[in-house]
Structure 1
Amino acid sequence: MSFLWFLSNYRNPVTEALALGITEFGYQIIPIVFLAVIFWCFDKKTAYKAGFAFCISGLIVHGIIKIFVRIPRPWILDKDFTPVKKALKAATGFSFPSGHSQAATSIFGSFFTSCKIKWMKILCLIIPLLVGLSRMFLGVHTPKDVLCGIGMGVLSIVLVEYAYPYLEKGIGMKALLLPLICMVASVIGVIEGYYFFSKGIIDYINVKDCFQCVGASIGFCLGYYLETKRIHFQMPKSVSQGTIRVLVGLIILVALKVGLKLVTGENPFIACFSNLVLTFFITAGYPYLFEKIFKNRNGNAYEK
């Protein structure tokens, strides 16, 4: 807590606004949009690797560790400490580990390992560190939370870098390693989360975070299988085609998210299904639309 108190001395409207902006790179919208754009228009393989790292680390952090150890937020640990109020909306659930740090590390760290452009590589390395620092500056996580979140992200990247070539080529039992980890972690998360929730040990916010990660992982894995086995979409042939693809995809994605949010209520299984639909749309639903339907209207729209 002493480090958080030290950082709080430098809070002012400008630094708080800067930290709030940086922390968004570890929240839902920016990482997912970044991943979707890379996947739809630039590099499927890198996006798949980042997606697996994001799902695995997210399941471990939100689906297993957070609701098992149940460490309170800093302002609960120290009643005299006050976080930045505007950061509280995204500071749901328990404190350890940091989900923002995990998300930023797993996604941007994955692109760091694959990117060939030096300035982008440096940026992908810096972003997770800045996100972690912003979480502490805003007073919603301790250094221990952030370090563990980053560590989970790094470990997931190492695992994916090792296992993805086997998955891609379908080599032996190792080809099942990544989907199997997602499946086992999802089952553990559902059982653990629902048990603690049904016993009143955790509230809806905590079980929702857990079930959302489970749904996102299931949707991603299903989408991966269908796209790699059945759809095989191609990258856009021009900047204009890529721009249209992204704009249309993001509009549909936002509409889906808003529509699903209206019907979720406080049911963890519906929250799970909602995220399943969103990740499945990104990885298979939308690729099917622009590869099979849009291409039929304009046969030379994409390269083959």
Structure 2
Amino acid sequence: MLEFYALIQGFHNPFWDGFFILLSFLGNVPIYIILFAILFWNVDKRFGFRLGVLLLFSMTVNSWLKDLFHFARPIGQEGIRSLYLSSAGGYAFPSGHSQAAATFYPYLLTRWKDLRWKIFAAFMVLGIGFSRLYLGVHWPGDVLSGLTLGLIIVFGFIHIDQRLFKIPFTLIQKLTISLVLPLLALLFYHTTQGFQLVGFIIGYTSGYFLEDTYLDYQERTHFLPSLYKFLLGTTSLLIWLLLCRPLTDFSIAFNLPVYFLAGFWTSFGAPYFFRKFGWENNAQRAAEQ
């Protein structure tokens, strides 16, 4: 095993260190939250909603397995160089970064199936997985298991989501589910990123159900309105999360309300203001009415 790490870490230099730290950073929960927001505002809100639910389920399974197996990371092993240790909390098996990437990007291919997206998805999945090895924070088995589990979960979700999301729940039932199920996930996914993602998904899904009932926001627009939505929406999200950083640093529990409001802003607050500003597809709305 040490020979393996000597091989993949033997070409290290500041450029590759920075490159693989960046790739690994792109596999963190706040980055996926920004991507959920962009999908919701500019592409397909229902698709973004499904993807959020899918990622939370996948990462809950991942965290449960970590606690079940208690496998240690290679950090501190002689001959293994470990970097970006802030991304390596908890147990090793399976790799959360690898599983999240193998969940998020392959599911994108159910909507965008052309070759360019396939190449991009493959690069992100394999690149994030390899970055965990280069940085010396996972064993190869951790990464391979994370990639495999992510793909299996996506495959299973594709086969049930059409039936699952067509069940005729009332609004009260939907709001109750959007609160209870993510909170149950905290029983298994109780890391900092778990509190972040659970809080966000509660706000994101409850806001989506309210938006779908009372607002019916039309997301697809021309380039300039889409750009304005991206700039205003993501800037607001980032400012909110940065302002709340002292709270979330003080206690992990504060991530829950902070990210709840971020999720609710994403799926209801921002679309409401986008409509007020005229950044909505009114032609699509008129056609549907």
Q: 2 CA distance for matches of 1:210 and 1:241?
A: 33
1:41 to partner: Cα distance: 0.6
The 3 A distance-change label for structure 1 pair 139 and 181 is farther
Question: Could you tell me whether the CA contact under 8 Å between 1:4 and 1:142 is conserved in 2?
Answer: no
- Structure 1: runs of 5+ lacking an equivalent: 194-205
1:70 counterpart = 2:70: yes
Percent identity of the aligned residues? 25
1:83 counterpart = 2:82: yes
2:160 partner letter: A
Q: 2 CA distance for matches of 1:150 and 1:36?
A: 24
2:203 partner letter: G
> What pairs up with 1:252-267 in 2 under 5 angstroms?
252-267=236-251
- The residue number in structure 2 matching 1:218 is 202
Question: Could you tell me whether the CA contact under 8 Å between 1:233 and 1:287 is conserved in 2?
Answer: yes
Q: 1 CA distance for matches of 2:225 and 2:194?
A: 37
> What pairs up with 1:200-219 in 2 under 5 angstroms?
207-219=191-203
- Structure 2: runs of 5+ lacking an equivalent: none
What SS is found at the alignment partner of 2:186?
helix
1:79 to partner: Cα distance: 4.2
Of 151-160 and 97-106, the range deviating more from structure 2: 151-160
> What pairs up with 1:134-213 in 2 under 5 angstroms?
134-170=131-167, 183-184=180-181, 186-187=183-184, 189-190=186-187, 207-213=191-197
RMSD: 2.9
The 3 A distance-change label for structure 1 pair 21 and 268 is closer
2:254 partner letter: I
The 3 A distance-change label for structure 1 pair 282 and 299 is closer
TM-score by length of 1: 0.80
- The residue number in structure 1 matching 2:60 is 59
1:29 to partner: Cα distance: 4.2
1:109 counterpart = 2:106: yes
Q: 2 CA distance for matches of 1:289 and 1:222?
A: 18
1:19 to partner: Cα distance: 1.6
Cα deviation, 1:151-209, whole Å, max 9, x if unaligned, reads 3322332233123212443369xxx99x969945642533x57xxxxxxxxxxxx7433
Of 262-271 and 127-136, the range deviating more from structure 2: 262-271
- The residue number in structure 2 matching 1:282 is 266
1:60 partner letter: V
